[in-house]
Amino acid sequence: MNLRALLLALPLALPTLLAGCGGDSLDADVQKFVAIADEACACKDEACFDKAKDKWDKLEEEMDKKYSGDKKPDKDKLKAAEDKVEAAEARAKECARKIAGGGDAPPSDSK
């Protein structure tokens, strides 16, 4: 799969995925997404980015299973989690664009 296809395949349904999140581990789980975005932004080539993308997809599947059912955080926690994951996703996409275009260094970390 080429990098442009990967950019399009990055998850767009984060609110749906995180809608079932809850419990004390929500922040730790969000940090897993942030760490994968960091990993993707450290990549210098498509093969490396592909590995990070695969980890993101696998984590999404794990989170979907982990938080299925009625485990829902309060609205403020959910919004904060969504914002952090969406920011990590946007950062990873920008890094992927730079890899695909052979651009400059990845954007600075905005945790």
Q: What is the DSSP string of 57-87?
A: HHHHHHHHHHT-SS----HHHHHHHHHHHHH
Is residue 106 domain-resident? Answer: no
In a domain, 14, yes or no: no
Domain membership of residue 49 (yes or no) is: yes
In a domain, 6, yes or no: no
Confirm if 100 and 3 have CB atoms less than 8 A apart: yes
> 102 near 44, Cβ under 8 Å?
no
Would residue 7 count as lying in a domain?
Answer: no
Q: Is residue 62 part of a domain?
A: yes
The answer, as to whether pTM is greater than 0.75, is no
Residue 70, domain extent:
23-101
Number of domains in the chain: 1
At residue 94, the pLDDT reads 94
pLDDT per position in the chain (111 positions), as tens?
Answer: 555 554 545 544 444 445 444 445 789 999 999 999 999 999 999 999 999 999 999 998 988 887 766 766 667 887 898 899 999 999 999 999 999 886 554 444 444
Model pLDDT, residue 72: 65
Task: Give the whole-angstrom CA distance, residue 84 versus residue 89.
Answer: 9
Asked if the structure places residue 43 within a domain, the reply is yes
Cα 16 to Cα 12, 19, 72, 78, 96, distances in angstroms:
9, 5, 12, 11, 24
Q: Are 69 and 19 in contact (CB under 8 A)?
A: no
